[in-house]
Chain A
Amino acid sequence: DIQMTQSPSSLSASIGDRVTITCRASQNIDSYLNWYQQKPGKAPTVLIYAASNLKTGVPSRFSGSGSGTDFTLTISSLQPEDFATYYCQQSYSMPSWTFGQGTKVEIK
């Protein structure tokens, strides 16, 4: 199975900060990497698919990059509504999917 490792597991940041979350795959997954945001008590929602493609309607302060084994989700200027937990997901080994363990973004 492909393992997905996110870092950090949590971070504290202020409004307006630039935030970077990293996801590493245990083997090459090309660009088959998605990013989700999850708020407490809610289902995850997709932000980025295919490593760098912004889902329609998602604010442009979110961006994704990377390929192979190393990927990054960046929030260019953190907003109050961005405090949430973020997960990466690989679709390379579909139909078997795996998620990272999550990165919780908290208010400093």
Chain B
Amino acid sequence: QVQLVQSGAEVKKPGASVKVSCKASGYSFTNYDINWVRQATGQGPEWMGWMNPNSGNTGYSQKFQGRVTMTRNTSINTAYMELSSLRSEDTAVYYCARRSRATIFGVVFYWFDPWGQGTLVTVSS
């Protein structure tokens, strides 16, 4: 089945970096964009950016521009998200999600499906 499996929880100090991995299985990894979303406790999801696994092209939310880097290793069907200069406000669960699509009456629509199981990143001194 289509599945995204993420790396385990991380605890980091302020100013450090974290790199989260997302391994895809059950579909052709290079055919679908991977997006990254984070969710702080009690908050709604927040989109961080996207990556095309085929080309390596990326696009980031302005909020994270300069601090986030999304990469991939196509030989092992794995996407990565690295966030630097961590601060306490970055404490959240980080998710990868595949951008799925359908064409309805000639119009292409997109949504996120599936999502990884989430990776808790805690930033604390």
Contact = CB atoms under 8 A, between A and B. Distances in A.
A50 interface: yes
Given A31-B109, A32-B109, A53 B104 contact: yes
Nearest to B96: A43
Contacts of B102: 49-50, 53
Interface of A: 31-32, 34, 36, 42-46, 49-50, 53, 55, 87, 89, 91, 94-102
Interface in B61-85: 61
- Interface size bracket, B side: 20 to 34
Nearest to B47: A97
A55 B113 contact: yes
A42 B44 CA distance: 13
A96 B60 CA distance: 8
Interface of B: 35, 43-47, 50, 59, 61, 95, 97, 100, 102, 104, 109-118
Contacts of B111: 34, 46, 49, 89, 91
Nearest to A88: B44
A99 B45 contact: yes
A95 to B, nearest CB: 5
Contacts of B117: 42-43
A100 B44 CA distance: 7
A70 B95 CA distance: 28
Given A53-B109, A87-B45, A95-B50, 16 more contacts: A36-B112, A42-B118, A43-B115, A44-B95, A44-B112, A44-B115, A45-B114, A46-B113, A49-B100, A50-B104, A50-B109, A55-B113, A91-B109, A94-B110, A95-B59, A99-B47
A97 B35 contact: yes
